[in-house]
Amino acid sequence: MNFLDPVQEQVEYAAELIRNARQAVALTGAGISTPSGIPDFRSEGTGLWSREEPLEVASINTFRAHPEHFFSWFRPLAGQIFRAEPNPAHLALAKLQQHGFLHSIITQNIDMLHTKAGSQGVIETHGTLASLSCTQCYQQYGYEEFLPPFVQTGALPHCPACGAILKPDVILFGEQLPYKALHLARQAARACDLILVIGSSLEVLPVAGLPMQAIDQGAHLIILNHTPTYLNVRADVVLTHDVVTILPAILRQVLHD
């Protein structure tokens, strides 16, 4: 696809920055997965938090006191996630990584779509639906045995070892982010010389601070997002087009297709 000249120039410049980067890192948010049918949290009228009060349904306190309330809210979202497939933006990032142009992918998403697209070593800062942990004995289990039946029947997942409720390994309000993932994300941001922000409004700390850490170390910044972020004024490239169109276009330019 050929864009109007100013946009095409930005696409070409983004591709040049990626080709010349020694260690590029991508940071993705909900906006990369909404084209796959997964709702984001904050968009007015369509985001999950425009219909629900987050602290009432998705906090660790609610989960501990009334897990059935959390699972009742979570069930349709889990179904959407399991039905979703990687879109061209996920696939473009995986191709960039496979060709050696992208060192790390940091994501705020829990949907596993980067991994499904073929990306390796994805840093999941807000947890993942790939596993569940027992709230009593802390045994960890893969999602396959527990979450698909829950989505189909609504039966809550329980630990085979002790019978306690299983919690999906996603970060709820009131929980700390996973230490290892956050540590790896900070390391990647501080070591990179280019960071791509894709589908994130950069509103949720501490992950929203990672691009600032990168550019403070001299890294270039590319932002691909519908709405403005606090770092647009510091970015080398800002593109507001749909990520499923713009990322494949950048990939083609990088690979000289």
Instruction: Kindly give, in sequence order, each residue whose CB lies less than 8 Å from that of residue 192, ignoring residues fewer than 6 positions away.
Output: 21, 23, 24, 25, 103, 104, 214, 217, 219
Q: Which CATH number fits domain 1-38+86-126+177-257: 3.40.50.1220, 3.40.50.300, 3.40.50.2300, 3.10.20.30?
A: 3.40.50.1220
140-142, strands of its sheet edge to edge: 140-142, 127-134, 166-170
Classify burial at 1, counting beta carbons within 10 Å of its beta carbon; exposed 0-12, middle 13-18, buried 19 or more.
exposed
Asked which of 125-134, 160-169, 248-257 is least confident by mean pLDDT, the reply is 248-257
pLDDT at 40: 73
Asked which of 24-33, 39-48, 69-78 is least confident by mean pLDDT, the reply is 39-48
Please report where in the chains the tokens 């992918």 appear, as a residue.
Answer: 105
As a whole number of angstroms, the distance between CA 30 and CA 34 comes to 6
Q: Which residues of 84-101 are buried (b: 16+ CB within 10 A; e: fewer)?
A: bebbbbbbbbbbbbeeeb
State the chain's mean pLDDT as an integer.
91
Instruction: Kindly tell me if the per-residue pLDDT of 55 is higher than 70.
Output: no
| Each residue's pLDDT tens digit, 158-217 | 999 999 999 999 999 899 999 999 999 999 999 999 999 999 999 989 999 999 999 999
As a whole number of angstroms, the distance between CA 54 and CA 128 comes to 18
Q: How much of the chain exceeds pLDDT 70, in percent?
A: 92
Cβ atoms of 164 and 136 closer than 8 Å:
yes
Cβ atoms of 166 and 143 closer than 8 Å:
no
Active site residues: 126
Encoded tokens for 102: 């992208």
Measured at the alpha carbon of residue 257, what is the angle toward residues 104 and 240, in degrees to the nearest 5? 60
As a whole number of angstroms, the distance between CA 198 and CA 200 comes to 6
Encoded tokens for 48: 């999950």
Instruction: Kindly tell me if the per-residue pLDDT of 44 is higher than 90.
Output: no
Say which DSSP state 101 is in: S
pLDDT at 46: 41
The model carries a pTM of 0.90
Domain boundaries, the chain: 1-38+86-126+177-257
Question: Within 13 Å and on the Cβ side, how many CA atoms surround 137?
Answer: 10
As a whole number of angstroms, the distance between CA 148 and CA 232 comes to 40
Cβ atoms of 226 and 34 closer than 8 Å:
no
Instruction: Kindly tell me if the per-residue pLDDT of 11 is higher than 70.
Output: yes
Instruction: Kindly tell me if the per-residue pLDDT of 108 is higher than 70.
Output: yes
Instruction: Kindly tell me if the per-residue pLDDT of 9 is higher than 60.
Output: yes
The predicted model gives 103-108 an average pLDDT of 97
pLDDT at 213: 96
Instruction: Kindly tell me if the per-residue pLDDT of 45 is higher than 50.
Output: no
Cβ atoms of 41 and 155 closer than 8 Å:
no
| Each residue's pLDDT tens digit, 19-37 | 999 999 999 999 999 999 9
